[in-house]
Amino acid sequence: MTLAAITVAAAQAPKIKLGFAKCAHCLPMSLTPGLAKGVEIEATGFNSGNDVLTALVSKSIDVAQVTYLHYVTALDKGFDVVAVSGQINGGSECISSNKLALPGDDWAAFKAVVAKAKAGGQPLKVAASRGNAQDIHMRGAFLKQGVDPNKDIQFVNIPNPADHFAALQREEIDMVCSVEPFASQIRLNGAGKHFVFPYDQAAGNLTNLIVTRSDVVASQRPGVQAVVGAVVALNEKLSADRGPWIDVINKLTGLDKAVATEALKNAAPDAAIHRSQTLAIAAMMRDLKYISKDVSAEVEKNMEYSFLEQATGKKKNDLGY
């Protein structure tokens, strides 16, 4: 292709503004511009998934990496969001304070500590970033074990996951359900101990989802298709070699590569859109009163598998439908 032809092709390529959050399994989205074919992606990092969702619904960006929980929350609020791909799952871990001396994965010991603290008039202080995947994973896992997060503990909202480390280190909280790479940072620096990966609940380990709006689908379909193609290509690349993933965590968070490497033990590339589990998440969020109504119909209506089918060559029944 001549230089003139390349220039014309670049000028004709659709441009997509993409937003992603700053967590271990979100940060690889910054690599999609280098893998995109037939689209110019402008990738921007945001502090949280809530910020990314706000940018999408306010039309500041065209495509967003959020969580399944954000997707359900958006539908509950009547926002126009369309799920077009999965991305990476995992990344949640409940970490207890050292003073609690709680054995890992010992729910019986945890329930005994919760009951004793509640009876003593000083309920256990458990933190998370309210409304993110880790918060919901934690609440669902607690409920399944018979611990009501609204009655049996004192919930502490720490919006920025980067602040979880200091709160636990200063013994302001007894436990935190954090996101990678901050969970690994806490453990590797001795500020807390592993208690449990909170995946034994309706949401499983589902976390990240790629969403857009219906007007973007209508007006920029080739661009959205190219973004989904880049996500699929990225997942294949990261499944084969986690080196670029470690590098991007190191570069964008400033955390060292040992923390990044540890964080990736709790993350799994997965481009599928898990329909039945999303419905279960919506039901759980309604039970927890995080949403106001039954959004099952909206959840199914706003899942668009055609982009993923074209990008992978698979049918939707093999892509989580």
- What is the DSSP code string of 149-216? TTTTSEEEE-SSGGGHHHHHHTTS-SEEEEETTHHHHHHHTTS-EEEE---SSTTTT--EEEEE-HHH
Question: Structure pTM?
Answer: 0.88
Give the Cα-Cα-Cα angle 123, 207, 179 (nearest 5 degrees): 50
- Mean of all residue pLDDT scores within the chain: 93
Average pLDDT of adjacent 10-residue blocks, the chain of 321 residues? 51 86 92 93 91 96 96 96 97 96 97 97 95 90 94 95 94 96 95 96 92 97 96 95 94 92 94 95 89 96 98 97 96
At residue 57, what is the residue type? V
Q: What's residue 130's pLDDT?
A: 87
> What pairs with residue 127 in β-bridges?
156, 176
- Euclidean distance between the first and final Cα of the chain, in Å? 40
Helix (H) or strand (E) holding 6: helix 3-12
Q: What's residue 239's pLDDT?
A: 93
Q: What's residue 103's pLDDT?
A: 96
Q: What's residue 2's pLDDT?
A: 55
